[in-house]
Amino acid sequence: MKKYRIAVVTGASSGIGEAIADRFARKGLSLVLMARREDKLARLAKKLAQYSDCHIAACDLRDLGAVKKALSDLPKKFSRVDVLVNNAGLALGLEPAQCASWEDWQRMIDTNCSALAFLTHCLLPGMVERDRGHIVNIGSVAGSYAYLGGNVYGASKAFVEHFSRNLKADLLGTSVRITNIEPGMTSGSEFSLVRFKGDRDRVASAYQGTEPLMPFNIAECVYWAVSQPANVNINRIEVMPVCQGPGRSVIHKKS
């Protein structure tokens, strides 16, 4: 980990992104924290200040112009990015495709695919030039296993999986590493609250009788992948709670 000094974490204001930032900070990495909510980023930066330096960049990642400006405005000490964690992403709705909202589909594509690709496009050339770096994409088991209502969300995470694989192919001959982390059912974040548009009863029902993963479990996977020796690339980590089988519909709930 001494090799890496600066990490960009998107979606850092809560959940998995916050847990990843905390894990990295405690290992001494300086952080660029990106998300929409500046107040939450500021609170996180203040909390992590005892471990590392943080720079906050509050912007909507779907606004590619704002993202480009945020990256070009990075202070010099944060500008040589070693690690990019493309964590920001969301699911919206659980309706079958014929009943889904186009606006929801567009937002998932813009966030889960376009923003992730754009951030990679912005930061990857510098990593290649310095011959040092690691891009960690947070995908989902939904990219591998279809389920009712998954439609565009699952497709967007399949994009993440194949984008990661193709990046690895393109980067052969460099020291830059690529990892795709694919979590299953995970609680302790705002993911389901966003998916169900604030309906806390639906959120509670989705997790009732289960023991899902928590954000710190995913953060540990990210840290483990990044901390491997320089000659080791962890291509993909698929991680589920014990109560889940291959696919969202295969979940055992206690009676």
Alpha-carbon distance of 54 to 40, in angstroms, equals 13
Catalytic pick from 4, 145, 153, 223?
A: 153
Torsion of CA 176, 116, 247, 20, to 10 degrees: 70
Residues 6+ apart with CB under 8 A from 143: 154, 156, 157, 158, 159, 160, 161, 182
Q: How many CB atoms lie within 10 A of CB 211?
A: 13
Helix spans in 30-185 (H): 38-48, 64-72, 102-108, 116-130, 151-170
* 207 among known catalytic residues: no
Sequence-ordered strand ranges (E) for the chain: 6-10, 30-35, 54-58, 83-86, 134-138, 177-183, 236-239
Indicate the residue type of 180: N
- Pairing type for strands 54-58 and 30-35 reads parallel
Report how far apart, in Å, the C-alpha atoms of 233 and of each of 136, 137, 168, 179, 236 are: 11, 13, 9, 7, 9
Residues belonging to the active site: 153
